[in-house]
Amino acid sequence: MSRRKSLAITAAGLISIVALLAGCTSAPLTDARKILSNVDTSLSNLKSAHFHLEAGGQFAVGVQAVPTDTPVPTDTPAPSVSAAPSVATSAGASPSVSASGSAAASGSAPASASPAASSSPAATDTPAPSASPSAVASPTAVPTPMYTALPVTLDGTKADGDIDFGNTTAHVIGGMPGLPGVSGELIVVHPFSYYRGYGATKYTSGQDSDLSINPADPKQSLFIVQQVVAAASDKSLSPVLVGTEPEPGGACYHIRVEVTQSALSSKLANLTFVQDKASGWLNLWITQGDFQLERLEFSTSDPAAGAAAIRLVLSNWNMVSPIQGPAENQVEIPTLAPAGQ
């Protein structure tokens, strides 16, 4: 009897411990800013992931404008020199012409020629002030880069792939029909990149440093995602926890925030390829357990940047298989031009 009583006490103790542990588990958060702060920490620990990206609508992309004529700034000091007016006055061009005409009429051309000859040396001497220190020392300002906002359609934009930030590798398939030549397959194995367009049988090799955006570089692709999340928690904004919703990765917090252009611009200031960072609505789905970014959606309808919708889905966090470069026989060897050509 005492043994049964002892077992019952032990069982009751275990049940109470389990209940206590269950009570100590983290309860769902209700502060949207606290959730976003945890997401930022989670993204900083992201080593690899599978992603799916799709977009539609139109966006304004800033394309750097090349100066039409770079020597123009160096020629600007010339008009500032008053050599031409002084020459016309000192040389007496119009008086000499009238003088020569009257002299010709009187038949004394040699006499009128001598004053013209004597005045020409004075005319050649007058441009000397054009080499004044102020004109020569005038610095030529280096023009700052100028960007022209061009509308680019995002319709049909899709991309899927794996990114391994720890090993600086990536494998992406997809494209953006709105930009010719930005569709196909890209493999990055630092420091090399391999690209082949749709229908091509071989890859073209290059340096990953030449890519406009290197997906394998956390300072580029991951940085953009981190900054968008950081913009959601900007002090000037009011992120709202919509609730908890089921996602493929499990139960997720759903946070919605109306982001302003100034909030996005302050976080994405270094992305000069985007001329106008438009305001819009940002929706984030974040897993409850480990605060991993499950899904990100941004929609905008801004007169300056256009109406667009972008969706990014992340999965397979830190469990991406090793990414290898293509076989040697799949890489096109560039043909070298003969010497002397």
Q: Is residue 93's pLDDT more than 50? A: no
The pLDDT value recorded for residue 188 is: 98
Q: Is residue 191's pLDDT more than 70? A: yes
The pLDDT value recorded for residue 151 is: 76
Average pLDDT of the chain is 76
Total number of residues shown for the chain: 341
Q: Is residue 22's pLDDT more than 50? A: no
The pLDDT value recorded for residue 341 is: 58
The pLDDT value recorded for residue 61 is: 65
CATH of domain 30-65+147-320: 2.50.20.20
Q: Which residue did the predictor score with more confidence, 243 or 128?
A: 243
Which string of b and e fits 235-253 if b means at least 16 CB within 10 Å?
eebebebeeeeebebeebb
Mean per-residue pLDDT, 174-186: 87
Q: Which region among 82-91, 140-149, 196-205, 216-225 has the lowest average model confidence (pLDDT)?
A: 82-91
The pLDDT value recorded for residue 1 is: 53
Mean per-residue pLDDT, 87-114: 40
- Among residues 236, 228, 220, the alpha carbon closest in space to that of 311 is found at 228
* pLDDT band per the 50, 70, 90 thresholds, residue 66: low
Domain boundaries, the chain: 30-65+147-320
Tens-digit pLDDT profile for residues 276-308: 556 899 999 999 999 999 999 999 887 666 789
The pLDDT value recorded for residue 59 is: 75
Mean per-residue pLDDT, 217-227: 95
Q: Is residue 25's pLDDT more than 50? A: no
* pLDDT band per the 50, 70, 90 thresholds, residue 10: low
* Cβ-proximal residues to 119 (8 Å cutoff; 6+ apart), any chain: 90, 91, 92, 96
Q: Which residue did the predictor score with more confidence, 91 or 179?
A: 179
The pLDDT value recorded for residue 119 is: 44
* Cβ-proximal residues to 258 (8 Å cutoff; 6+ apart), any chain: 237, 238, 279, 280, 281, 282
Mean per-residue pLDDT, 328-333: 93
Q: What is the 3-state secondary structure (H, E, C) of the chain?
A: CHHHHHHHHHHHHHHHHHHHHHHHCCCCCCCHHHHHHHHHHHHHCCCEEEEEEEEEEEEEEEEEECCCCCCHHHHCHHHHCCHHHHHHHHHCHHHHHHHHHHHHHHCCHHHHHHHHHHHHHHHHHCCHHHHCHHHHCCCCCCCCCEEEEEEEECCCEEEEEEEECCCCEEEEEEECCCCCCCEEEEEEECCEEEEECCCCCCEEEEEHHHCCCCCCCHHHHHHHHHHHHHHHCCCCCCCEEEEEEEECCEEEEEEEEEECHHHHHHHCCCCCCCCCCCCEEEEEEEECCCCCEEEEEEEEEECCCEEEEEEEEEECCCCCCCCCCCCHHHECCCCCCCCCC
The region, left, alpha or beta by phi > 0 then psi within -120 to 50, assigned to residue 211 is beta
Q: Which residue did the predictor score with more confidence, 231 or 107?
A: 231
* pLDDT band per the 50, 70, 90 thresholds, residue 70: very low
The pLDDT value recorded for residue 100 is: 38
* pLDDT band per the 50, 70, 90 thresholds, residue 328: very high
* pLDDT band per the 50, 70, 90 thresholds, residue 9: low
| Angle formed at CA 323 by CA 56 and CA 160, multiple of 5 degrees | 15
Q: Is residue 171's pLDDT more than 50? A: yes
* pLDDT band per the 50, 70, 90 thresholds, residue 64: low
pLDDT above 90 coverage of the chain, percent: 48
Q: How many CB atoms lie within 10 A of CB 267?
A: 21
8 Å CB contact between 60 and 152: yes
The pLDDT value recorded for residue 339 is: 61
- Helices 93-106 and 109-125: angle between axes, nearest 10 degrees: 170
Q: Which residue did the predictor score with more confidence, 246 or 275?
A: 246
